[in-house]
């Protein structure tokens, strides 16, 4: 279930999530670039009044001063009837360059927010952000299970290939991805009315102003008391209108300033809801938090790799999934095979056992361990084939087994044999199989054969186990499943010379040559210049598999 919750949304939305993440990476550098270009006065060094005075000295027609959270100051002015906007140095008020927002960045922003569409695109982006929350949470639970519990989250990750890369990257990135996804979902939910928008705390225009002669902007007391780093926006009054006021917006609230007395009028602090909303935006965009922006950007870079490796894992699981032969019903079965598996390889061994038991005339019921029935009325033998996952834990198709076992009623004649699949490199080699064996024993079932542990899917160990089971059951059971069949090359016998037959000490020399026509392109390329033989060196074992049999016999 958890795996489906993680894999399905990832599978469906992989491409769109990659677009969202890569455009997010581009946008994440913007706050850092803006911050590196901006001059940011130390706290207490410059008031809004000082800034406005210096700007007005350079731009007499100033209409508005805006400061971004990154520290960029933009002045909007009117000169000879022509409007303009310049980036200015807040310490001197001098212009740095005309203010021209990048059209390319605007395009990337639109791609990120709405896939270059309007509301439909925005909704899609919001929906994807919510899916990402789901993917992150389910992935975190899966990772905890893989590593053997929450306390083991920082443990080295075992394995190799796509699953290992996916797990390592996900562990590194999950907090950042979750933060981006949660804040993105919140912003979308507010926009589309799914969550309430913060109460509007815009102050109403003051009913009364002094109407006196305007004082120089640098002398206005209300502006003197505000540090420039808190400024968001200062809108100047209409020239020659003594009834108009300055409108001031800061990070903590907004209000108006009388242009004659300098008094702060109708000041409204930002509500808690508005502060919260404001912080959600900052945490998503990194605005004014350039270092966070960069961290989120690096984290978003993992999304294409996570999507790619995730698709790889899905494909591996899909191609290793086994279609079982028809299973006998619980009531009719005289042999039962229960399978515990996480990555599907154990199912391959179970299928081979089922086939061979069927061939020996048995009615076999084969099912996941989680489907343990309360009773198998006719069964005389129960095989449990299980892998171990996490840190000696149950694989996913067996995680309910122990609970179900409590209600299990074994008949008098039911014997069991547990076959564990694991990897000796793990400290708790086949631990879950050992636990299951002990639990079945304590249920009073008779053990047909002691628990056997198979290391890394060894076909040889599986076959040997089958031979022992054969003897117990009195049937022929040649188990041949090999999850990783070795690549073989076909040879034909070209000469046989027998010696020593006359003296009763026969020795034969067999000469083989590779069958040319059976070689695929890869083999043909590999064998070229090697006298038509695969690579070998002295001391190697020579494995011979007779036609129709995958199990090789080894010779020195
Ligand atoms: C994340 C992970 C954790 C594992 N933990 C153990 C373990 O604790 N003990 C063990 O013997 N094998 C462990 N294994 C190895 C598997 O049990 C082994 O590869 C098995 O053949 C997998 O079978 P399955 O694909 O049917 O699940 C682990 C494998 C993985 C990928």
Ligand 1 within 6 A of CB of 435: no
Per-residue tokens: 537:
């060196």
Average pLDDT over all residues of the chain: 91
Cβ–Cβ < 8 Å for 75, 65: yes
CA 226 to chain centre: 45
Cβ–Cβ < 8 Å for 241, 233: no
Per-residue tokens: 102:
């990048």
| Chain segment 312-343, per-residue pLDDT in tens | 999 888 877 777 778 899 999 999 999 999 98
For ligand 1, what atom is nearest to the CA of residue 430? 11
Give every CB contact of residue 315 below 8 A, 6+ residues apart in sequence: none
Burial class (CB in 10 A: 0-12, 13-18, 19+), 120: exposed
Cβ–Cβ < 8 Å for 288, 32: no
Residue nearest to ligand 1 atom 19, measured at CA: 422
Task: Identify which of 418, 412, 442 has the alpha carbon closest to the alpha carbon of residue 430.
Answer: 418
Question: Is the confidence at residue 547, as pLDDT, over 70?
Answer: yes
The pLDDT-based confidence of 478 (bands split at 50, 70, 90) is confident
Least confident of 145-159, 232-246, 539-553: 539-553
Ligand 1 within 6 A of CB of 346: yes
Cβ–Cβ < 8 Å for 545, 534: no
Residue nearest to ligand 1 atom 7, measured at CA: 392
| Chain segment 240-279, per-residue pLDDT in tens | 898 999 999 999 999 999 999 999 998 999 999 999 999 9
| Chain segment 2-32, per-residue pLDDT in tens | 888 898 888 889 999 999 999 999 999 999 9
| % the chain with pLDDT above 90 | 71
CA dihedral sign of residues 296, 298, 303, 306: negative
Return the axis-axis angle of helices 290-320 and 2-28, rounded to nearest 10°: 140
pLDDT of residue 529: 47
Alpha-helical regions (H) of 233-289: 272-285
Q: How far away, in angstroms, is 388 Cα from ligand 1 center?
A: 5
Cβ–Cβ < 8 Å for 387, 341: yes
The pLDDT-based confidence of 158 (bands split at 50, 70, 90) is confident
Ligand 1 within 6 A of CB of 388: yes
Ligand 1 within 6 A of CB of 422: yes
Q: How far away, in angstroms, is 342 Cα from ligand 1 center?
A: 8
- Phi first, then psi, for residue 512 (nearest 5°) are -115, 160
Ligand 1 within 6 A of CB of 527: no
Ligand 1 within 6 A of CB of 430: yes
Residue range 423-451: average pLDDT? 93
CA dihedral sign of residues 82, 85, 91, 96: negative
| CA–CA distance, 134 with 271 (Å, rounded to integer) | 30
Ligand 1 within 6 A of CB of 249: no
Question: Is the confidence at residue 36, as pLDDT, over 90?
Answer: yes
The pLDDT-based confidence of 200 (bands split at 50, 70, 90) is low
The pLDDT-based confidence of 465 (bands split at 50, 70, 90) is very high
pLDDT of residue 303: 97
Ligand 1 within 6 A of CB of 428: yes
Cβ–Cβ < 8 Å for 419, 353: no
Cβ–Cβ < 8 Å for 307, 10: yes
DSSP 3-state assignment of 384?
strand
What ipTM was predicted for this assembly? 0.98
| CA–CA distance, 86 with 406 (Å, rounded to integer) | 76
């Amino acid at each position: 279930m958890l795996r489906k919750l993680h894999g399905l949304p990832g599978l469906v939305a992989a491409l769109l999530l990659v677009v969202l993440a890569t455009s997010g990476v581009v946008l994440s550098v913007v706050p850092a670039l803006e911050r590196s270009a901006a001059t940011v006065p130390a706290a207490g060094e410059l008031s809004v009044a000082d800034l406005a005075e210096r700007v007005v000295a350079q731009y007499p027609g100033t209409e508005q001063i805006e400061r971004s959270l990154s520290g960029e100051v933009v002045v909007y002015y009117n000169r000879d009837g022509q409007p303009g906007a310049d980036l200015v140095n807040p310490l001197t008020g001098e212009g740095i360059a005309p203010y021209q927002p990048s059209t390319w960045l605007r395009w990337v922003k639109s791609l990120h927010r709405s896939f270059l569409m309007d509301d439909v695109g925005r909704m899609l982006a919001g929906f994807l952000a919510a899916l990402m929350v789901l993917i992150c949470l389910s992935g975190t639970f899966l990772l905890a299970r893989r590593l053997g519990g929450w306390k083991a989250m920082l443990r080295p990750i075992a394995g190799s290939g796509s699953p290992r890369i996916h797990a390592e990257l996900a562990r590194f990135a999950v907090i950042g991805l979750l933060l981006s996804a949660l804040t993105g979902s919140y912003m979308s939910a507010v926009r589309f009315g799914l969550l309430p928008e913060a109460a509007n705390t815009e102050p109403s225009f003051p009913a009364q102003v002094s109407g006196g002669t305007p004082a120089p902007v640098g002398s206005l007391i209300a502006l003197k008391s505000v540090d420039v780093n808190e400024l968001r926006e200062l809108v100047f009054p209409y020239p020659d209108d003594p009834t108009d006021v300055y409108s001031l917006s800061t990070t903590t609230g907004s209000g108006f300033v009388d242009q004659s007395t300098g008094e702060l009028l109708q000041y409204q602090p930002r509500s808690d809801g508005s502060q919260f909303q404001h912080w959600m935006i900052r945490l998503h965009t990194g605005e004014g938090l350039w270092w966070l922006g960069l961290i989120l950007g690096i984290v978003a870079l993992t999304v294409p790799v996570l999507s790619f490796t995730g698709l790889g894992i899905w494909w591996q699981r899909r191609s290793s999934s086994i279609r079982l032969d028809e299973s006998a019903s619980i009531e009719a079965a005289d042999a039962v095979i229960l399978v515990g598996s996480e990555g599907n390889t154990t199912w391959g061994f179970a299928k081979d056992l089922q086939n061979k038991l069927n061939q020996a005339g048995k009615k076999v019921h084969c099912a996941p361990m989680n489907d343990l029935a309360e009773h198998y009325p006719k069964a005389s033998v129960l095989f449990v084939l299980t892998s171990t996952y996490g840190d000696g834990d149950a694989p996913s198709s067996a995680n309910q087994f122990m609970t179900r076992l409590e209600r299990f009623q074994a008949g008098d004649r039911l014997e069991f044999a547990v076959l564990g699949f694991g990897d000796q490199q793990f400290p708790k080699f086949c631990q879950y199989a050992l636990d299951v064996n002990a639990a079945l024993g304590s249920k009073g079932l008779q053990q047909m054969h002691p628990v056997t542990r198979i290391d890394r899917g060894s076909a040889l160990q599986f076959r040997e186990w089958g031979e022992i089971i054969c003897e117990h059951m009195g049937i022929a059971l040649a188990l041949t499943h090999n999850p990783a069949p070795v690549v073989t090359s076909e040879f034909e016998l070209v000469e046989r010379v027998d010696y020593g037959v006359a003296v009763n000490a026969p020795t034969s020399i067999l000469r083989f040559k590779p069958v040319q026509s059976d070689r695929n392109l890869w083999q043909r390329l590999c064998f070229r210049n090697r006298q038509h033989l695969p690579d070998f060196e002295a001391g190697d074992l020579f494995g011979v598999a007779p036609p129709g049999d995958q199990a090789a016999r080894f010779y020195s």
